[in-house]
Structure 1
Amino acid sequence: MDTTHQKTFERYLYAGAIMRDADGVAALFTEDGVFEAPLVPPGHPLPRRLEGREAIRAGIGAYHRHPAFQVTVDAARSAYVRHDTADPDVFVVEIDTVLAGAGGPPVTMSLVQIYRLRDGLIAQLRDYFAPPDPAQRIP
């Protein structure tokens, strides 16, 4: 198990999904880091591509503040599998995250993230997920 990969993933998960801390997320990226969400539809509050730490901070922050995405991750019911690759700077994580909203049953969202590191920071993160429609709230 690569502890750098594990720590990077845990820090990203904690700063983003748990704490919703855009500054914390941005700090995990290189200054010229890139966040990509290729499956996000055009016009979605989260841009498909954010380039540079400041753009990541602003874009992730706006996404986290959007009323349609005010959900809580049920960490106890969520799960992931991390895969190291032949490239020591690249790893992949498959995630099934359980989201709870203001009421109603929890919703499971499945996603895949591909990380490319440089000097211990995220140089590129491709986050493959189909976000909930911003016009609909998680129950």
Structure 2
Amino acid sequence: MSRTPQQIFEGYIYAGTVTRNADAFAECFTEDGVFEAPLVPAGAVFPRRLVGREEIRTAMAAHYAQQQVKGDRAPNFEKSGYVLHTTADPDVFIAEIDTVFDGEGGEEDRAVSLVQIFRVRDEKIARLRDYFAPDLVS
């Protein structure tokens, strides 16, 4: 039985956003998988384009280590949500995501909306385009 878009997406979120495990994150992708963040400017700290599982693993490990040093907040999953949209192409689905970060020290909660387009092959991510506001990772 093949994995559904829901299962692929949830595995990706768990590996990246929940556990920040670069090895598990990279294993969500095909060997030649591509991760793109087209709205991130060239030269930014967050990777704009990664090609191949090993490049994804290395770059995301560095990114997660930097997040730990900076003390970046994790999302509040109870307040956050998403909707998956299937397409006419069974290998493509779209995730529409609203992520909420709890406010600290009297600050208001911060909501972030983004869209991700997934192309899968053999139940792994072959290409992921992640559209989010680039100032979130600067």
1:91 paired residue number:
93
1:60 deviates by: 1.5
1:9 deviates by: 0.4
Q: Which amino acid aligns with 2:20?
A: R
2:72 paired residue number:
70
- Within the candidate set 113, 124, 128, 1:125 is matched to 128
Alignment of 1:1-139 (within 5 A): 4-66=4-66, 67-68=69-70, 70-100=72-102, 103=105, 104-131=107-134, 132=136, 134=138
Asked if the contact 1:64–1:70 (Cα under 8 Å) also holds between the matched residues in 2, the reply is no
Do the aligned partners of residues 126 and 82 (structure 1) sit closer, same or farther apart at CA in structure 2, a change above 3 Å counting? Answer: same
Alpha-carbon RMSD = 1.9
Give distance in 2, aligned partners of 1:79 and 1:113.
14
Give distance in 2, aligned partners of 1:33 and 1:60.
14
Gapped runs of 5+ residues in structure 2?
none
Identity of paired residues, percent?
53
Deviation string 1:2-43 (CA, Å, 9 cap, x unpaired) is: 961000000011111111111111001000000000011222
Q: Alignment partner of 2:4: what SS?
A: helix
Provide the TM-score with structure 1 as the length reference.
0.87
1:45 deviates by: 1.5
Gapped runs of 5+ residues in structure 1?
135-139
Q: Alignment partner of 1:105: what SS?
A: coil
Q: Alignment partner of 1:72: what SS?
A: coil
Asked if the contact 1:90–1:114 (Cα under 8 Å) also holds between the matched residues in 2, the reply is yes
Asked if the contact 2:37–2:47 (Cα under 8 Å) also holds between the matched residues in 1, the reply is yes
Q: Which amino acid aligns with 1:96?
A: D
Deviation string 1:75-123 (CA, Å, 9 cap, x unpaired) is: 0000111000000000001001112476533311110000000011000
Asked if the contact 1:46–1:62 (Cα under 8 Å) also holds between the matched residues in 2, the reply is no
Asked if the contact 2:46–2:137 (Cα under 8 Å) also holds between the matched residues in 1, the reply is no
Q: Which amino acid aligns with 1:29?
A: F
